[in-house]
Amino acid sequence: MADDGSQTPPVLDGDEATALLPVSARRLLASGAGDGARSLPVPGVLLLCDLSGFSRMGAETVATSERGAEALQGVIDGVFARIGAVIARHGGAVLYYAGDAVAVHWPAGDDPAGALRAAVACGLAVQSEVGADPIGERSIEMRAGVGLGEMWLIETEAPGGRQAVFCGPLLETMAGLDLGTGGVRLAPGARDLLQGDPGVEIGAGTDIARAVAAEAWTLPAAPELFDVGPWLRAHQRASLALGRDWAAEFRQVHVLFLRAPGFGFAGATDTDRAAAVLRAIAAAVEAEGGTLLQTCFDDKGLVGIAAWGLSTRVWEDGAERAVRAAQALAQDPA
């Protein structure tokens, strides 16, 4: 269907489409798109795992073989499939993947200590089950940390599709946490709650959790399927319509990495300001014919990744367009 409003867009409520929106977001957005901007509270526990050395290994794989990109894709699929299986086993839900890192969420509910134990156990399992196995001639060091606190999903209309981004003090705490190896580092609030918990072993004089007693982790029910079309961008809708064979090709692309310095979100009173920043990022990329691939709050703060040269947006002057988008945001970041 056309994106110009001339026809009713198709309903995108299948498994492939809904998988493009994080489970935690789908639970909050199932009632449908709202008018304007809103912030939806989602307090809980966050596990952050970083695969140290993965980017370097990937670059070497691509550089040393004419089929390096295909080999790397196989490695990426294998590693993250295993991580995903560990996360599912412990009842977590992936918030986002950012570079070599994955952020996983558990609702705090009525038992925040239980959610913390599940998150720590998940981090330890990722380290032992995935990090222990070498990939080729290299090993991947899994660094992990867990925090507890307030978080919101900021949801707003924006050029090219609605934006839904997790923000809040919990993510800001995790951004400043020195992730642990050989154990899971606990942010202050998490350590306070687990201190003295008989089911958790914390290294003496440290904030590193070394072991968690086995228990039956709560596995939440999957959210109901609903139309996620309003939150998908043109390249995502195209990939669903045309399939993986169409996407499996080499192209020269120009990639722009964006960061919003000073961006913070402390609560509902910051909703309009945060939404304005998200809209500004989308507008700058759309105005120059780019594809906004991701916006998230990671260890660098609020960041975005945009590309020029994907099949839905091909330009001879992609580099110049990327620079103009960056300049527009630098001059007026909202």
**Rg (the chain; Cα; Å):** 20
Decide if 96 contacts 103 (C-beta within 8 A): yes
pLDDT recorded at residue 132: 67
Decide if 291 contacts 235 (C-beta within 8 A): yes
pLDDT band at 245 (very low <50, low <70, confident <90, very high): low
Tell me which of 96-105, 125-134, 200-209, 265-274 is least confident. 125-134
Which residues are paired to 305 by β-bridges? Answer: 257, 294
pLDDT band at 1 (very low <50, low <70, confident <90, very high): very low
pLDDT, tens digit (0-9, with 9 covering 90-100), for 142-192: 899 999 999 999 999 999 999 999 999 999 999 999 999 899 999 999 999
pLDDT recorded at residue 2: 45
Task: Delimit the CATH 3.30.70.1230 region(s) of the chain.
Answer: 17-212, 229-331
For domain 229-331, the CATH architecture is 2-Layer Sandwich (3.30)
Q: What is the mean pLDDT of residues 59-83?
A: 74
pTM summary value: 0.88
Q: Is the pLDDT confidence value at 213 over 60?
A: yes
Q: What is the mean pLDDT of the chain?
A: 88
Compute how many other C-beta atoms are within 10 angstroms of the C-beta atom of residue 307: 19
Q: Is the pLDDT confidence value at 140 over 80?
A: no
Residues 6+ apart with CB under 8 A from 64: none
Q: Which fold has domain 17-212?
A: Alpha-Beta Plaits (3.30.70)
Compute how many other C-beta atoms are within 10 angstroms of the C-beta atom of residue 177: 22
pLDDT, tens digit (0-9, with 9 covering 90-100), for 249-267: 567 899 999 999 889 999 9
pLDDT recorded at residue 191: 97
Tell me which of 160-174, 201-215, 303-317 is least confident. 303-317
